[in-house]
Amino acid sequence: MKKQDRLDRLTAMISERGIVHLKDAARALDVSEMTIRRDIAAETGRFAFIGGHIMPAQAVEPEQPYELASASDRHASAKERASAQALPHIRAEDTLFIDCGSTMMHLADLLPEDRPLTVCCYALNIAERLARKTNVRLIMLGGVYHPASASFSGPAALQTLDELGLNVAFLSAAGLEEGRGATCEHFHEAEIKKKAMAVAARSILILDDSKLGRIRPAFFAPSDAFDAIYTESGLYAPEENGA
């Protein structure tokens, strides 16, 4: 089957179903998954590939510069559900690290009120939520302020993390892609994420499905560096889903 014939058949499948998994497309067209990947890679105006699924390009939200104010409103329900999936990892007397970003706002709101916790963060919007919780002892990392993500960074923040005994680091990402791993928008965030993961006993990544298959500018960890990855759909397994 010629490439154009494959593309036409794939278009018909997507028109009928709305979204097609890579494995299903390869099986239907009797070619390898790599062939399908190559076909659609040259057709970005026609197809989008996210989290192992192929869909019309126009169905995907266009990339925009990240600003916390706008990001907090996008996929809010999915971010809250993803955050709720990770709550069983929290035990009484734990010391936690909570990353910056709009997803982590939901995690901060969902922290259980019935157990004492020590929580370290480096973003104003996260600290504001944590400060309202009477069961939380808050540690705020300082440094230079970055308005786009309402976060701080600098040598003092990294030194403070070195001095903490973290049970769990909860991380966010703006992208999780096969082969590349987890990425974020800002390089100062990547440095803090790496340090938190290095000192924590466990590292948990929380993100919504819209981030799967995306690559953003600043890399901070391969997918297998996390003890668990959660989306709104539950526990996520990259080796099974192709992202």
Residue 70 pLDDT > 60, yes or no? no
Cβ pair 80, 49 in contact under 8 A: no
DSSP structural state of residue 136: E
3-state secondary structure of 114: coil
DSSP structural state of residue 99: -
112-139 pLDDT, tens digit per residue, is 999 999 999 999 989 999 999 999 999 9
CA 121 vs. chain centroid, Å, equals 17
pTM above 0.75, yes or no: no
- CA atoms of 91 and 195, how far apart (whole Å): 22
- CA atoms of 194 and 220, how far apart (whole Å): 6
Residue 74 pLDDT > 80, yes or no? no
3-state secondary structure of 83: helix
Cβ pair 213, 177 in contact under 8 A: yes
Identify the pLDDT of residue 75. Answer: 77
- CA atoms of 193 and 43, how far apart (whole Å): 34
142-187 pLDDT, tens digit per residue, is 999 988 888 999 999 999 999 999 999 999 999 998 788 999 989 9
- CA atoms of 189 and 7, how far apart (whole Å): 39
30-39 pLDDT, tens digit per residue, is 999 889 888 8
b/e sequence 120-140, b meaning 16+ C-beta within 10 Å: bbbbbbbbebbeebeebeebb
Cβ pair 133, 113 in contact under 8 A: yes
From the number of C-beta atoms within 10 Å of its C-beta (0-12, 13-18, 19+), residue 116 rates as: exposed
Q: Which residues pair with 228 in a beta bridge?
A: 204
With cut-offs at 50, 70 and 90, classify the pLDDT of residue 242. Answer: very low
